[in-house]
Structure 1
Amino acid sequence: MATEQSGDELSFSRNKNQSTGLMMRIRKFNPREVFTWKLAKTWAMGQGLAVLICGTAICSQYLATNFQVNTPMLQSFLNYILLCVTYTTMLLCRRGDGNILQILKKRGWKYLLLGLVDVEANYTVVKAYQYTTITSVQLLDCFVVPVLMVLSWWILKIRYKMVHFVAVCICLLGVGAMVGADLLAGRDQGSTSNILLGDGLVLLSAVLYAISNVSQEYTVKNLSRVEFLGMLGLFGTIISTVQMVILERNEVAKIQWSWEVVLLFSAFAVCMYTLYSCMPLVMKLSSATSINLSLLTTDLFSLFSGIFLFQYNFSGLYLVSLVVILIGFITYNAVPTPAAPTEEEEEERSRAATDLTTSSSVCEQGRYYGAAASQSEITKQEVSVRIPAEEVEDDEEEQKADVEKKDRRKEEKKRRRKKRRHSEPSQNHRGGSDFAVGCSTKM
């Protein structure tokens, strides 16, 4: 009975301590620490990227519906060629280690794989719309977030907390509300020819996008933004050209060119180029996971624009999903995601720990086991104190001797002066006596 009571008391005390700790955290909560300018800036920049993605979707939909143009590789080729002309040219003008030749020698094969991953990610997600519905694409495209978290934990050594997982779940609930709004509005469009293949392509594109985004975050934060975009533009242009010639040469030949088609292609290329150019800036400010949580609102922008352009039906759940995604984004960014210490930091910590242990052991030996050593040190200190003391005494004696010599010299000078004074009156006295004697002889 006593043990049961003690166990109950311990559990009660633990629960009490946890509740008090939670209450203390709630009391210490400061909204200014969460709703910062950096958070607002990250959210605004993420929504800007979402608007750019929405622009690419609108251009692609206009090309497909109004002009029967389905050439995703040609559209990606235009983006990569712009990146190549801009950023690869910058790498060609560099000198030293930042030159394109040095980059190709050191890590060219890595950028080749990265270019292949990025090109196929863009291609598979566009290709998936030919086999599955928009609802499936929206739901399965969210798979990029958990894959990003796993890759960030493994490659970037980012350590997440329970708050971050809860925030991700909240954002996914917002996406679920958006899909429900699509179903209520009757917007479950798309092909159903091969749903299994389409869903597999969406999942594959999510994994490829996650790999590309993690690689981009690592490169931007450790190397250079220009290097990443320049090498991606170079290899992306080569890969997309080869794939376009193999897979889309017939589709490109069927295009009936007009000023409207050229304008749509140009708008798509400008939106994609701006998206690729601005993404590293936002990623350097936050992280790949945070950006993708913010990009979950892309479908909402597409829906809002589709209400005016394609006469979509509106539902109030769209606004609910937007608010839920915003709450999840704020919750995710409220708590920082610290990175695990690198090997160099761990080595420095271990060295510091060994230095502390050695110094503490030396102190303990000096306290408890080094009495003789301490006495010898004391005697050495006494000797070292005596030696300067004797030197000081010798200096004082020399000074005293100098002062005595000076005093003796002064006394001798005084004596000489006195002798001179005594000798002068004696001479005067002799002269006067002689004068008297002379006077007496004359008489």
Structure 2
Amino acid sequence: MPREQLDTLCYKIREGLPKWRDIFTWQLFKTLLMGQGLSVLICGTAVTSQYLASIYYLDTPMLQSFINYTLLGITYTMVLIFRRGDGNILQILKKKWWKYLLLGLTDVEANYAVVKAYQYTTLTSIQLLDCFIIPVLMILSWFFLKTRYRIIHYVAVCICLAGVGAMVGADILAGQEQGSTSDILLGDGLVLVSATLYAISNVCQEYTVKNLSRVEFLGMIGLFGSIISAIQLGVLEHNEVSKIQWTWEIALLLAGYALCMYGFYSFMPVVIKMTSATAVNLSLLTGDLFSLFCGLFLFQYTFSGLYIVSLVVILIGFIMFNTVPTLTRALDPASDEEGCENHAVDFDNNSIEGCVDEMSCAQVEQDQIKNQMNERQSACVVINSVKM
């Protein structure tokens, strides 16, 4: 092969390979940090719920959810009330009240189903089956958000799930089978239902925060979530609530749970807007690990080195998932309401506009490389002519 062709081939290979500075960016570090912050908040809700259930024998999941939705309503729904124009709550309810009613119902029942599952099955089963949300999210994002994943994304998901497998293996070896086993089949079914409902809620959340408004999503969730949870609280848990012997410890734990959940709901849309619902849920897989680490000191769990292995593997998978952007076809909310679809294509993370699929994007990149080569060759000819 001639030397000129060899140099051109080497140049194309070098240009085609991702550089370290292109992978480990400040954006990736910020996404990783915020994702783990959400995991810490999830850990806070798990620890406070464990204390309420095991120490004070308080089993009121709808009461805890009601407090969270009420806080969301007090803040974000009030903002919508004082807005003017199309962002006002009356205009939103006039056009989309039934959509947010269904979304609020989905979110409330997802929270309720996973908490009820602890009464029937083990923590190990819940940790495993809760990962069902990842494939459901990817399928829903494929059909409704027009997200197109690449091979590296599927590999990254498999790596994260392997990390969860290591965590579950550590639980089994340590003999930590927290939870009941009264009806394992019912409990596992509740976990799968919860994961599916969470996936639906997260896909709707991603669409809303990227195309409409984060405040609109949280305000509507706070409004309908508080109404639905209040009705369900009165029907299902009025006896349990009336029997509560209020102490400052119980009040403090309920407040801690509510604040952690409120912070989780408030900041999750921010991270989803930066990445995607799938990426956020991959980062949340470490939430169970943080809960186990807290359990080492609070509930005398047995430590296993597989916990550290699981944490590292999940973080590696999360980083791999975010190093390569997904291909997303952006939908126009206005035209979507009228049944029309805007076929403009958009990329995450400063991608090339106007590409319809990965083949066309690759062609654009090749054209750019050819143009750069032509420019360099032209520059060399000019320099040589000057020297002569």
TM > 0.5: yes
Deviations 1:169-191 (A, max 9, x none): 01000000000011111112211
Aligned to 2:376: none
Q: Contact 2:147 / 2:329 at 8 angstroms: preserved in 1?
A: yes
Aligned residue type for 1:242:
I
Aligned to 2:261: 272
Aligned runs of 1:201-212 on 2, under 5 Å? 201-212=190-201
Structure 1: distance between partners of 2:330 and 2:263: 34
Classify 1:63/1:341 alpha carbon distance in 2 versus 1 (closer, same or farther; 3 Å): closer
Say whether 1:182 aligns with 2:182.
Answer: no
Output the TM-score relative to the length of structure 2: 0.82
Aligned to 2:312: 323
Structure with the higher fraction of residues in helix conformation = 1
Aligned to 1:94: 83
Aligned residue type for 2:312:
V
Say whether 1:117 aligns with 2:106.
Answer: yes
Aligned to 1:133: 122
Aligned residue type for 1:121:
A
Residue 346 of structure 1, CA deviation: 5.9
Aligned to 2:365: none
Aligned runs of 1:128-167 on 2, under 5 Å? 128-167=117-156
- Equivalent in 65, 82, 87 of residue 54 of structure 2: 65
Aligned residue type for 1:294:
S
Structure 2: distance between partners of 1:188 and 1:130: 13
Aligned residue type for 1:245:
G
Q: Contact 2:145 / 2:330 at 8 angstroms: preserved in 1?
A: no
Classify 1:60/1:94 alpha carbon distance in 2 versus 1 (closer, same or farther; 3 Å): same
Say whether 1:340 aligns with 2:326.
Answer: no
Aligned to 1:310: 299
Query: Could you list the runs of 4 or more consecutive aligned residues of structure 1 that deviate by over 4 angstroms after TM superposition?
Result: none
Structure 1: distance between partners of 2:344 and 2:39: 39
Deviations 1:122-163 (A, max 9, x none): 000000000000000000000000000001111111101111
Aligned residue type for 2:189:
G
Structure 2: distance between partners of 1:259 and 1:110: 39
Deviations 1:44-73 (A, max 9, x none): 101101000110111111111111100000
Structure 1: distance between partners of 2:286 and 2:209: 24
**Alignment RMSD:** 2.0
Classify 1:341/1:297 alpha carbon distance in 2 versus 1 (closer, same or farther; 3 Å): closer
Residue 289 of structure 1, CA deviation: 0.4
Deviations 1:281-335 (A, max 9, x none): 1111111000000000001100111101111110000011111111111111111
Q: Secondary structure at the match of 1:332?
A: helix
Aligned runs of 1:324-403 on 2, under 5 Å? 324-340=313-329, 343-345=341-343
Structure 1: distance between partners of 2:330 and 2:48: 45
Aligned residue type for 2:180:
S
Runs of 5+ consecutive residues of structure 1 not aligned to the other structure: 1-19, 350-443
Seq. identity, %: 69
Say whether 1:108 aligns with 2:97.
Answer: yes
Say whether 1:232 aligns with 2:232.
Answer: no
Aligned to 2:63: 74
Structure 1: distance between partners of 2:301 and 2:323: 35
Classify 1:27/1:340 alpha carbon distance in 2 versus 1 (closer, same or farther; 3 Å): closer
Aligned residue type for 1:272:
M
Classify 1:242/1:169 alpha carbon distance in 2 versus 1 (closer, same or farther; 3 Å): same
Say whether 1:53 aligns with 2:42.
Answer: yes
Aligned to 1:33: 22
Aligned to 1:300: 289
Residue 95 of structure 1, CA deviation: 1.1
Residue 26 of structure 1, CA deviation: 9.6
Output the TM-score relative to the length of structure 1: 0.72
Aligned residue type for 1:141:
D
Residue 27 of structure 1, CA deviation: 7.7
Aligned to 1:222: 211
Structure 1: distance between partners of 2:253 and 2:297: 18
Aligned residue type for 1:285:
M
Classify 1:341/1:249 alpha carbon distance in 2 versus 1 (closer, same or farther; 3 Å): closer
Q: Secondary structure at the match of 1:142?
A: helix
Q: Secondary structure at the match of 2:148?
A: coil
Structure 1: distance between partners of 2:159 and 2:24: 18
Structure 1: distance between partners of 2:256 and 2:245: 18
Structure 2: distance between partners of 1:237 and 1:27: 51
Say whether 1:83 aligns with 2:72.
Answer: yes
Structure 1: distance between partners of 2:71 and 2:344: 43
Structure 2: distance between partners of 1:146 and 1:346: 26
- Greater Rg by CA: 1
Deviations 1:188-237 (A, max 9, x none): 22111100000000000000000111111100011111111111000001
Q: Contact 2:163 / 2:310 at 8 angstroms: preserved in 1?
A: yes
Runs of 5+ consecutive residues of structure 2 not aligned to the other structure: 1-8, 332-340, 346-353, 355-388
Aligned residue type for 2:45:
T
